[in-house]
Amino acid sequence: MGGEDFDPPYPEALARYRPNVGVVLINGHGKLWLGRRSDSPGPRNWQFPQGGVDKGEDLLAAALRELHEETGASSAALIGRTSEWMAYAFPPSHRRSRGSGRWIGQKQIWFALRFTGEDTEFDLAAHDPPEFDAWRWVGPEDVLPYVVEFKQATYERVLEAFRPLITPSPA
């Protein structure tokens, strides 16, 4: 269940999707961490921490790096991961506005991490420029209304994959 290198085999159909990792951070009450993107106005601009994988980078290491860069948090323990890449395509307007270059979307391996720290650990200004300008804990049933439409199918799959892990911590 540990790390894996950047270049595992994946279907040729995903060759033009940027390698990426995502993190579902679960607190001791079974709530999930969502951040509001600072560069995307609107009500559906919340997401889980996620980001690109550097060439040769271990996927778990990338997930932990992205979590720290985007949230300031590093107190997390691995409790699960997806076994297959999950992909979504960027809408045409996103491709032009974000300078996504040769990528038509992102393929992601997702990690479920149990947050073991205190909420005071979160520092959205830890990375410059900040990825998020606000954050909140939500129940798994409350995630999708906050997420941009083109990522929703992926988020549904991720939530389903991790449903058995989204529980309060044992006392």
Structure confidence by residue, pLDDT tens digits, 34-62:
999 998 877 899 999 999 999 999 999 99
Residues 6 or more apart in contact with residue 98 via CB below 8 angstroms: 90
Average pLDDT value for the chain: 89
pLDDT number for residue 5: 42
> Is there a domain that residue 4 lies in?
no
Q: What is the CATH number of the domain that holds 157?
A: 3.90.79.10
**β-strand partners of 73:** none
Q: How many domains does the chain have?
A: 1
Whether pLDDT at 108 is above 60:
yes
pTM over 0.85: yes
Report whether 113 contacts 79 (CB < 8 A): yes
> Is there a domain that residue 5 lies in?
no
> Is there a domain that residue 73 lies in?
yes
pLDDT number for residue 152: 95
pLDDT number for residue 16: 87
Task: Give the side-chain half-sphere CA count within 13 A for 121.
Answer: 17
> Is there a domain that residue 1 lies in?
no
> Is there a domain that residue 2 lies in?
no
pLDDT number for residue 40: 80
> Is there a domain that residue 170 lies in?
no
**Sign of the dihedral defined by the CA atoms of residues 25, 82, 68, 39, in that order:** negative
DSSP letter at 169 equals P
> Is there a domain that residue 110 lies in?
yes
Whether pLDDT at 80 is above 50:
yes
Whether pLDDT at 8 is above 80:
no
Domain ranges, residue 32: 14-165
Mean pLDDT score, 95-123: 85
Bond prior to 43 in cis (omega within 30° of 0): no
> Is there a domain that residue 29 lies in?
yes
Least confidently predicted of 29-33, 67-71, 82-86, 94-98: 94-98
Structure confidence by residue, pLDDT tens digits, 84-98:
999 999 988 765 445
pLDDT number for residue 14: 84
Task: Give the side-chain half-sphere CA count within 13 A for 143.
Answer: 26
CB atoms within 10 A of CB 122: 18
